[in-house]
Amino acid sequence: MNAKSDLFCAAVDWGTTNMRVWLLDRSGDVRESRSSDEGMRAAMPDRFEAIMEKHLGQMGAPVGLPVIICGMAGARGGWVEAEYMKTPADLAAAHESAVKVAHATRDIRILPGACQMDDGREDVMRGEETQLAGAVAGSRTSGIFCMPGTHSKWAQVDEGRLVHFTTFMTGEMHGLVSKHSILRDTLGEAKADAENPAFASALDEMLEGRGFTEALFSIRASALLKGVEAGDLASRLSGLVIGSEIASAKRAFEPEEVGLVAAGPLSDLYRAALARADIHAQALDGEALARRGLFAAAQSFWGNT
């Protein structure tokens, strides 16, 4: 008996720097999965289909298996542009704004991102809306979500609708300061540690309303004046960037509890930081959320066939 015969679809989360592919059965369970660093940057402008077919072939996906995709493949300059859903957006209706890839050998749908048009609060996401749809499909239909990363997102979902969201350039700011600023040599390769008191005190400063660009230079000055160690400085920098995000988000979203979509070291830092801000964090698995959101959309397309 061929284990691949009861596959339902392939699901792809195509990020900027990475991509993940799953083969799912009719229950949404994973039969095969793989990830690679062939993100949007590697795939632009015309390697999307070749990369996808390569992975599907290696995973033994049948020729006619349909594919559902979220993320940067739908960006302008990606594979095929999928317009944004506007907030407030019904997350379970993403499939209605999906695009179908023309002239493909199989049925391939790319899900839309989400956008917010408010003046001064314009914002966009691609991929996170599918994770949020996955949360909704998993009966977490209302709540506030904290999704850390290069461009951290905070999102408010009410009864399955994405009401409001904000992008914080937290991870990118950390990279800019540690790789390109005058603090670069001071910081070196040291890593932040959630247990380091310098992380906590930096968080407190930001939560008390101190300005980010104001506190930053103390990293250099404290190294110069007091010989503070690189590990303490790195923890302080992470405390400042993450604290700046959480302080702003706390004012904007007034959360008592958030769903925290993070993994690895970032998850440790954010859990510690949210606790310090008196915000209860419930850990969520971002990969599982994306997969569930993709599966829910796939069911809308192909569930009755």
Q: What are phi and psi of 290, to 5 degrees?
A: -60, -45
Binding its own copies (rule: CB under 8 A), the pick from 18, 33, 201, 300 is 201
Tokens 């700046």 sit at which residue? 244
Q: What are phi and psi of 123, to 5 degrees?
A: -155, 155
List all residues 6 or more positions away from 169 whose beta carbon is below 8 Å from its beta carbon.
Answer: 150, 151, 152
Contact 89, 78 (CB under 8 A): no
Shortest gap between Cβ of 5 and its own copies (angstroms)?
43
Q: Using CA of residue 244, residue 14, residue 7, residue 263, what is the dihedral sign?
A: negative
Q: CA dihedral defined by 62, 291, 80, 102, rounded to 10 degrees?
A: 30
Binding its own copies (rule: CB under 8 A), the pick from 234, 241, 266, 284 is 241
Q: Give the DSSP letter of residue 112.
A: -
Binding its own copies (rule: CB under 8 A), the pick from 30, 169, 230, 288 is 169
Stretch that binds its own copies, among 29-37, 97-105, 132-140, 239-247 (CB under 8 A): 239-247
170 part of the interface to its own copies, by CB under 8 A: yes
Q: Of 135, 122, 113, 10, whose CA–CA distance to 64 is shortest?
A: 10
**Cα end-to-end span (Å), the chain:** 22
221 part of the interface to its own copies, by CB under 8 A: yes
CB of 26 or CB of 179, closer to its own copies: 179
Rounded to an integer, what distance in angstroms lies between the CA atom of residue 115 and that of residue 208? Answer: 31
Region for 115 from its dihedrals, namely left if φ exceeds 0, alpha if ψ lies in -120 to 50, beta otherwise: beta
Around Cβ 5, how many Cβ atoms within 10 Å? 7
Shortest gap between Cβ of 89 and its own copies (angstroms)?
14
235 part of the interface to its own copies, by CB under 8 A: no
Binding its own copies (rule: CB under 8 A), the pick from 18, 33, 97, 166 is 166
Shortest gap between Cβ of 124 and its own copies (angstroms)?
5
Binding its own copies (rule: CB under 8 A), the pick from 6, 37, 122, 254 is 122
249 part of the interface to its own copies, by CB under 8 A: yes
Q: Of 6, 51, 4, whose CA–CA distance to 32 is shortest?
A: 4
Q: Token digits for 285? A: 């698995």
84 part of the interface to its own copies, by CB under 8 A: yes
Stretch that binds its own copies, among 20-28, 166-174, 264-272, 284-292 (CB under 8 A): 166-174
Binding its own copies (rule: CB under 8 A), the pick from 23, 205, 255, 276 is 205
For residue 66, is the peptide bond before it cis, meaning its omega torsion is within 30 degrees of 0?
A: no
Binding its own copies (rule: CB under 8 A), the pick from 76, 139, 185, 305 is 76
258 part of the interface to its own copies, by CB under 8 A: no
156 part of the interface to its own copies, by CB under 8 A: no
User: How many residues form the binding site for its own copies (CB under 8 A)?
Assistant: 50
Shortest gap between Cβ of 288 and its own copies (angstroms)?
26
Contact 127, 70 (CB under 8 A): yes
Q: Residue numbers of the site for its own copies (CB under 8 A)? A: 76, 84, 115-117, 120-124, 151, 166-170, 172-173, 176-177, 180-182, 201-202, 205, 209-218, 220-222, 224-226, 241, 244-245, 247-249, 251-252
